[in-house]
Chain A
């Protein structure tokens, strides 16, 4: 297994456009997480899946954001009608037991112009 893979690594989009990011977790991990990180901040929780079920979603998450994990494998995060404030690094992580820690991908850097 090559770890957690995220695509694309970088995305530049115009304000108002929709974007979709993909995350391929470690195959043995049934838990998958999306976080967002801006400069000078730690990762901020967005949403969490156990297998294909989305079990938790941050109250800070706008309804322009949606995430899926069909068949409990890869996951996608879509942002509709992007705004400049959406510019950030979007991190995906997977884990087995929580206390074993997360394995993060390299992230997708989104820039909204």
Chain B
């Protein structure tokens, strides 16, 4: 069974601070995705990474895929209250047709 561990589980910061959240597994993934979910809504895709060592930037968000394709990180620069939400990582192992999700990191950014 694929298992994705996310840390920290909960993060409360002030507007303007930087933060990094992590997603780790013992499995190798053919691709890994990050989603953001707001209360009462479904998750929304932020990015997909497929190559070991890959770095992708989306405005103030930087995503990195580990060289061995077992882990990933999400770094947010100068966090804003609008970044508040549950950040989920999800991986697809080679030969699998579905995504396995981690439990998520709940981020709260206060003004």
Q: Is the CB of A101 within 8 A of B33?
A: yes
Residues 25-44 (chain B) with a chain A CB within 8 angstroms: 30-31, 33, 35, 40-44
The contact string, 1 if C-beta is below 8 Å from chain A, for chain B 83-111, is: 00000101010000111111110000000
> Inside 8 A of B45's CB, which chain A residues have their CB?
101-103
Within A10-59, which residues are at the interface with B (CB < 8 Å)? 31, 33, 35, 40-45, 48, 50, 55-56
- Judged by a CB distance under 8 angstroms, whether B48 is at the interface is yes
Residue A106 interfacial (CB < 8 Å): yes
Count of B residues near A, CB < 8 Å? 25
Tell me the smallest distance from the CB of B17 to a CB of chain A, in Å. Answer: 24
B97 touches A55 (CB 8 A): yes
Interface assignment of A110: CB less than 8 Å from any CB of chain B: no
Residue in contact with A91 in the complex, picked from B30, B42, B98, CB distance below 8 Å: B42
Known contacts A40-B103, A42-B88, A42-B104; A98/B97 CB under 8 A: yes
Task: Check A107–B92 contact: CB distance below 8 A.
Answer: no
Inter-chain contact A56/B98, CB cutoff 8 Å:
yes
B103 neighbours in A (Cβ, 8 Å)? 40-42
Q: At the interface, yes or no: B50 with Cβ under 8 Å from chain A?
A: yes
In whole angstroms, what is the CA distance A64 to B19 when docked?
Answer: 43
Which residues of chain A are within 8 angstroms of B98 by Cβ–Cβ distance? 33, 45, 48, 56, 98
Contact B102–A93 (Cβ < 8 Å): no
Judge whether A98 and B100 touch: CB under 8 Å: no
Assess whether A100 is interfacial by the CB under 8 Å rule: yes
Check if B42 sits within 8 Å of A93, measured CB to CB: yes
16 of the cross-chain contacts (CB-CB < 8 Å) are A4-B42, A40-B103, A41-B103, A42-B88, A42-B102, A42-B103, A45-B99, A48-B97, A48-B98, A55-B97, A91-B42, A102-B33, A102-B43, A102-B45, A106-B41, A107-B40
Which residues does B use to contact A, with CB under 8 Å? Answer: 4, 6, 30-31, 33, 35, 40-45, 48, 50, 88, 90, 92, 97-104
Q: What are the 9 tightest A-B residue pairs by CB atom distance, in nearest-first order?
A: A104-B42, A42-B101, A101-B45, A99-B31, A42-B103, A43-B101, A42-B104, A48-B98, A104-B43
